[in-house]
Amino acid sequence: MTTQMPTWLKEMVGRNKAALRTQTAVSAQQGLNRSALHTVCVEAKCPNRGECLNCGDATFMILGGICTRGCKFCAVTKQKPLPPDQNEAEKIARTVKEWHIRYAVLTSPTRDDLPDGGASHFARVMQAITQLNPDVQTEPLVPDFCGRKADLQTVLSARPAVLAHNIETVPQLYAGVRVGADYRRSLDLLAYSKKIAPDILTKSGIMLGLGETRAQVQQTLKDLRTAGVDLLTIGQYLAPSKQHHPVLRYPEPEEYDMWQQYALEIGFLGAACGPLVRSSYRAGALYRQAVLGAKINISSMPKQV
């Protein structure tokens, strides 16, 4: 049974939905539509998309909008995917330039139908971005590539600033929440990235409200640190529909503050924790927090592209 969303959270979500109606947000979405580009903001029904579109920020979803897995928390469509768009790299690079983006986040649905899981496409898009925009840093949020290390190496060869892969939830919930995924495989991917490219920061994120216990979350954060993960995001799980995994709990904002403090105490270089935080939310700011070594409150920073 789904727990009722508290009033304070409804108000936060409502403010972001209202922001979608501004001229800036509508113009940004129209630009994406003209280029036939996908964003995780829309495909995954991100509650922050109004805010992000208004500050000129978006996470590009490459390799189409159809996923080959069936995770119970995700809104991305599950059907037979289309072949990769061979012009996508150039279209995204031009959009990054037109929007004056300084930090570009790329994610994708899981593409188990492709021989390399889409790794070479990730690399092509990043290379196109940096070729047209030499000062722009990139952050690929990658699937697990079924544990294939060669595919991860392909992505890292494009020299992103951060390699991101979400652990999503505690291992005790994987069987019912992350169909086709494996907790240890995800940890190994993050650890291997740090092993072969120690200068590239690694990042992961989890959701709260799926049925996890505090002790399980604590152990998951310790596991991520053991794997060498540098950056962490924690946010509230919001069910996309009644057919998805139900929300079992809505932690108060103070609990996110506690997890952020704990994450920094055990060695994460940066952490963004809050009800509407998502893995790509204010990604550039979180990266700068780690590089500068400053304890920055991401939610209170001025909005930047």
Mean pLDDT to the nearest integer, 71-97:
78
* Bridging pattern class, strands 59-61 and 38-39: antiparallel
Q: Name the burial class of residue 153, with classes exposed (0-12), middle (13-18) and buried (19+) by CB atoms within 10 angstroms of its CB.
A: middle
Distance of CA 122 to the CA centre of its chain: 15
Query: CB-based contacts of 250: which residues, under 8 Å, 6+ apart?
Result: 3, 5, 6, 9, 209, 236, 275
Please give the average per-residue pLDDT across 210-238, as a whole number.
Answer: 97
Average pLDDT over the chain, rounded to whole?
83
pLDDT tens profile 30-54? 665 665 565 555 554 555 555 555 4
Check whether 117 has a pLDDT greater than 60.
Answer: yes
Which pTM does this prediction carry? 0.83
Does residue 249 register a pLDDT over 50? yes
Q: List, in order, residues 6 or more apart from 288 with CB less than 8 Å away.
A: 294, 296
The domain 7-295 having CATH identifier 2.40.50.1020: the answer here is no
Considering only the C-alpha atoms of the chain, give the largest distance between any 2 of them, rounded to a whole number of Å.
50
Sign of CA dihedral 146, 121, 109, 83: negative
In angstroms, how far is CA 200 from the centroid of its own chain?
17
